[in-house]
Amino acid sequence: MSQGQESWALELFKRSVLKQQKFSNIKALLGDTTGRRCLDIGADNGVVSLLLRQNGGDWASADLAPEAVESIRSLVGGQVEQIDGGPTPFAEGEFDTVVVVDFLEHIPGDQAFVAELARIIKPGGRLIVNVPRKPRWSLVWPLRHAIGLTDQWHGHLRPGYRRDSLAALLEPYFEVTAANTYCKTFSELLDTALNFGYVIKQRRKGGQTSTAKGTVVTQADWKGGGSGAMKALYPAMRAWVGLDVLLPFFKGYRLIVQARRGSNK
């Protein structure tokens, strides 16, 4: 990995309040990974993969879309696998920690994949899962669907999970030990605006508007004009997302859980 490849990813992270929000919630549940064998799944363009490696440990990565795999590989090198939600190329009990970021909603067999995660995680090992939270009602989702940002556009085979449904999915093999939601209404509105802006830009230049993982912002996208806009808009975006504090009784549109692999399951 060249210094230039790493620098664009870190610059993107510095200008993306939503990625900062996501990574902050992952890191809060991750703990110390020094000396541990770890795997991240579903980290899209590799920025999260890169940041996780800075936490220590021996990491591998995997994702669904070839565009995502290529972007991750260009950033972190090492072992980066393309998987499809079925059996993985990893050994039984290989990992101490697995972080699954925005992946379960993209695959048809989430139950079978949880069983595969149980196979590759050591007894007592840690699993962190980040997914969309399916709200009982929403101010934002009708707007997203009206402008074409549907589940199909995102590559979602299901709209998301609630805490009880995710816990039930993991329960045969894992015990949920912590859970949190984040990305409330103002954050979700910003995410909607950014995705819609990306679609318009891609359509104007005849590019691909979505992948099996939704939007994957690559180094080419960042250098092709995205960096200037994000730098200019960052203070306003940060202030906008800060308005989520005005909604203390609202749950977020993202759900993240920490779970422990059972020793006898």
SS3 sequence, the chain?
Answer: CCHHHHHHHHHHHHHCHHHHHHHHHHHHHHCCCCCCEEEEECCCCCHHHHHHHCCCCEEEEEECCHHHHHHHHHHHCCCEEECCCCCCCCCCCCEEEEEEECCHHHCCCHHHHHHHHHHHEEEEEEEEEEEEECCCCCCCHHHHHHCCCCHHHHCCCCCCECHHHHHHHHCCCEEEEEEEEECCHHHHHHHHHHHHHHHHHHHHCCCCCCECCECCCCHHHHHHHHHHHHHHHHHHHHHHHHHHHHCCCCCCCEEEEEEEECCCC
The third-level CATH classification (topology) of the domain covering 3-261 is Rossmann fold (3.40.50)
The residue ranges of every structural domain in the chain are: 3-261
pLDDT, one tens digit for every residue, the chain (265 residues): 545 566 788 888 999 999 999 999 999 999 999 999 999 999 878 899 999 999 999 999 999 989 889 989 989 989 999 999 999 999 999 999 999 999 999 999 999 999 999 999 999 999 999 999 999 989 899 999 999 999 888 889 999 999 999 999 999 999 999 999 999 999 999 999 998 987 887 777 766 656 666 666 666 666 666 677 888 999 999 999 999 999 999 999 999 999 999 976 5
Whole-model pTM: value is: 0.91
pLDDT of residue 230: 83
pLDDT attached to residue 185: 97
